[in-house]
Chain A
Amino acid sequence: MKRVYVNEQWCLGCHLCEYNCAFANSGERDMVKALKGRAIRPRIRVEGDGEITYAVSCRHCREPLCVRSCISGALSAENGTVRIDHDKCVGCLTCVLVCPYGAVQPGPDGAAMKCELCLANACGEPACAAGCPNRAIVYEEREEETA
């Protein structure tokens, strides 16, 4: 299964992934129109200090605590992708309470928001990885150790 992997040692801290994520999920076709003059709400976040930087987004866990804990059934896992049904979510944020990576956040209207691998938006594959200039974020198939 293809996954997003983060190679911390290659991260330049350029935040381009955040912009590409916000654009891909904006539904707009023009990047300037989508992002200029707006507070962006990416589902991936670059964090760190002056020296170390790396990107954090949903790991699409094999045993997703968020899916198990969701009170509304808005979160589901299908073919290894953890998705959220915006209309079912009531914004209780139990998913924020249980995600070990801090990768789920409240969205603009209170419903929870997370990476869905861009599978359902126009990008079709993770925009963060596609646009990463230094291969610090990759989307690829790897041999996985069994859980």
Chain B
Amino acid sequence: MKEYVIIGGGAAGVSCVEGIRSRDPEGKITLVSAEPVSNYGRPLISYYLEGKTGLDRMSWRGADFYERMRVDALHGVRAERLDPEARRVTLSGGAELPYDALCVCAGSDPFSPRFEGIETVEKRFSFTTLADALALEQAVDGDTRVLIVGAGFIGLKCAEGLRDRAKSVTVCDLAPRAMSASLDGDSSPILERHLEKCGIRLMLGNTVTRFDGGTALMQSGDTVGFDVLVIAIGVRPNTSLVSDAGGAVGRGITVNEKMETSLPRVWAAGDCTESRELTTGETGVLAILPNASMQGRCAGTNMAGGDAVFDKGIRMNSIGFFGLHIMSAGSCTDPVFTQVTETGCKKLFARDGVLTGFILMGDVSRAGIYTSLIRERTPLDTIDFDAVCREPSLLPFGRAYRAKKLGGAV
């Protein structure tokens, strides 16, 4: 009987279990999770604070998942060291786990540059785990002024989650625009106006130079008084298990399209890895849940002797703030269609005859038709692209495509 070990119980680790079990109902699976709870939808933590979900509904694959999948799940335990020669993982507490196939699904940890005076701030938090959300829930009430450093999607989701709980929420970022990693100069102002209308105070192109207890001294010379600080600047892939064992890592753990690392019998998946992004061909960390889930499943399938490939990784995100839906996908460099209004926008990007990216705000209906064009690298001269630009539908794809997709099994 084969022995599998999975490190991490996020979307990648859980999907790795599903991948293994799709081929091997017998093998012994042990999953090690540093967090005291695993198998929950990590992006749900802001919805929890907002009251849109509850602890009883946050399990990603159901509370009985490990039992159903016959997984021995060890919670609150860290994998400390990996010995690829002896095929053994050493756990916190000293126990050792042997393996025939190992998958590192260790995700990422929040990181922050060192701020002067940060140690004088009494109540400071990150926002990446359920424990963070539960701690914030305790720390914030109707008198609390919250300062969030970082206007990426994690910082802004935190702001949304806390608005109705706190007295005030201020978000600052060194970047001059909100969500600058996925939005452009046409689209982010729409989001910024919307957030401010919804009561979030933004300080963009501005960051904290020094903290002094409950006061942040800003680059602009302003001071911001706060009671609770959330640092949401970024996350860094957890690569050390593999790099310490001599495996190849860049910004993330290096994997090929089968999710194999450079170490024998060691796979990796999710936020801890870096892989080839489809639209640019460049290697990067794709820290989004769909990527973690598909990579995890691919790794698990292969660990159990399968022959799966995942080579369609793209950046994409669907996110909403106070009712405004925002979707972005791929790389947004060469616009071919632009429609911008006060409250919404639609931009499509194409290069070398294929769709490479889009940004949608407001009307996001049927956006998956665009995502599919990117993923499948559909040559745009084989469809009525002008019609698709105006409105995503299957009509411009032609009868043969529809006969195959709607008249067949997909």
Contact = CB atoms under 8 A, between A and B. Distances in A.
13 contacts: A3-B409, A6-B406, A69-B294, A72-B58, A90-B44, A90-B47, A97-B316, A101-B394, A101-B405, A102-B394, A106-B365, A144-B409, A145-B409
Given A69-B293, A71-B41, A97-B316, A88 B405 contact: no
A56 B406 contact: yes
A100 B408 CA distance: 14
B362 interface: no
Given A65-B290, A102-B368, 6 more contacts: A6-B402, A8-B402, A65-B368, A94-B290, A96-B368, A98-B316
B84 to A, nearest CB: 29
Interface of A: 3, 5-8, 47-49, 52, 54-56, 59, 61-62, 65, 68-69, 71-73, 87-88, 90-102, 104-106, 142, 144-145
A8 B403 contact: yes
**Interface size for chain B: under 10, 10 to 19, 20 to 34, or 35 or more residues?**
35 or more
Contacts of A100: 368-369, 371-372, 375-376, 405
Tell me whether chain A's interface is mostly helix, strand or loop, or mixed. loop
A49 B41 contact: no
B219 to A, nearest CB: 33
Contacts of A54: 394, 402, 406
A52 B47 CA distance: 42
Contact of B368 (A6, A48, A97): A97
Interface string B181-201: 000000000000000000000
B366 A96 contact: yes
B318 A97 contact: yes
Contact of A69 (B47, B62, B290, B402): B290
Nearest to B360: A97
Interface string B379-405: 000000000000011110001001101
A100 B388 CA distance: 13
